[in-house]
Amino acid sequence: MRFLLTNDDGIHAPGLHVLARVAAKLGEVVVVAPDTERSGVSHAITLYKPLRLREFQPGWLACDGTPTDCIYLALHHLNLQPDVVLSGINPGPNLGHDVLYSGTVAGALEGAHWRVPSLAISHCTSSEDRMAELEPLLDQMLPMLLRVAQSQAGAVNVNLPPIDRGPWRGIRAARMGHRLYANEVIARNDPRGRAYYWIGGADVKMPDIEGSDCNAVRDGYVSVTPLGDDLTRHRELERVADLLASP
């Protein structure tokens, strides 16, 4: 099996190296990843500046673009023909509406867009200290996740509960829930007296939604969410058409 790996935390990120070690036990691994942290870039594509690729180590290329740029170059310039795209392991959750902001998830969505089965994997804690402990757990779980990814056309978003909360209780198919950032804006002045702002806040709320990825991880289960890239609200289409047609 040929794996193409990327992430949004940069080519040095421990999670990417753990994922590469796990995948290398099942096949051939090529990594094309951003040269620095690109978390939160979503599905951005670089159209108005040139991109560079640099060899980081054999089989690993660093790109000065986004995760989407990495997958695009890997498929359409390097002409890699991976069986699977893996994106991650992100240090921090990609639950609920994180999916819309996430560069990790976008890496997988870009793979799926070009018809390659794709998985995004996130560890739901911002600490990277115990990332290496995920390796034996993913050794066990990856074959099943690959079967899920290869069984359908979209990307598959996987969230691992924080390992420091104890053993995982199992694995669950889950829908996207809601994960709401505090509507907090920190405003301060820089050393030259000019205002700057820090958005997002630390306080994140996850409303209780039965069957959601947020609930699964809260309850200690690995969540597995099939994602589509069609954001149309199909059940509203007819109503909108009726409104447009009315005088």
DSSP state, 156? E
Query: Which residue's Cβ has the minimum distance to Mn ion?
Result: 39
Q: 63 with 108: CB under 8 angstroms?
A: no
CB-nearer residue toward Mn ion: 9 or 213:
9
Q: Give the DSSP letter string of 66-134.
A: -HHHHHHHHHHTS----SEEEEEEEES---TTHHHH-HHHHHHHHHHHTT--EEEEEESSS--TTGGGH
Nearest distance, CB of residue 31 and Mn ion, angstroms = 15
Minimal distance, residue 94 CB to Mn ion, in Å: 8
Query: Whole-number minimum distance, CB 82 to Mn ion, in Å?
Result: 21
Nearer to Mn ion, 28 or 129 (CB): 129
Give the C-alpha separation, 72 to 79, whole Å: 10
> What is the residue-wise DSSP string for 203-227?
-EE----TTBHHHHHHTTEEEEEEE
Q: Which is nearer to Mn ion, 170 or 198 (CB)?
A: 198
Which lies closer to Mn ion via its Cβ, residue 128 or residue 135? 128
Q: Which residues form the interface with Mn ion (CB under 5 A)?
A: 8-9, 39, 90
Task: Give me the least distance between CB of 196 and Mn ion, in Å please.
Answer: 22
Min. distance of Cβ 126 from Mn ion in angstroms?
9
Q: How far is the CB of 104 from Mn ion (least distance, A)?
A: 5
Question: Between residues 26 and 181, which has the closer beta carbon with respect to Mn ion?
Answer: 181
Closer by beta carbon to Mn ion, 27 or else 40: 40
Cα 71 to Cα 5: distance, rounded to the nearest angstrom: 8
Task: Give the DSSP H or E segment for 16.
Answer: helix 14-24
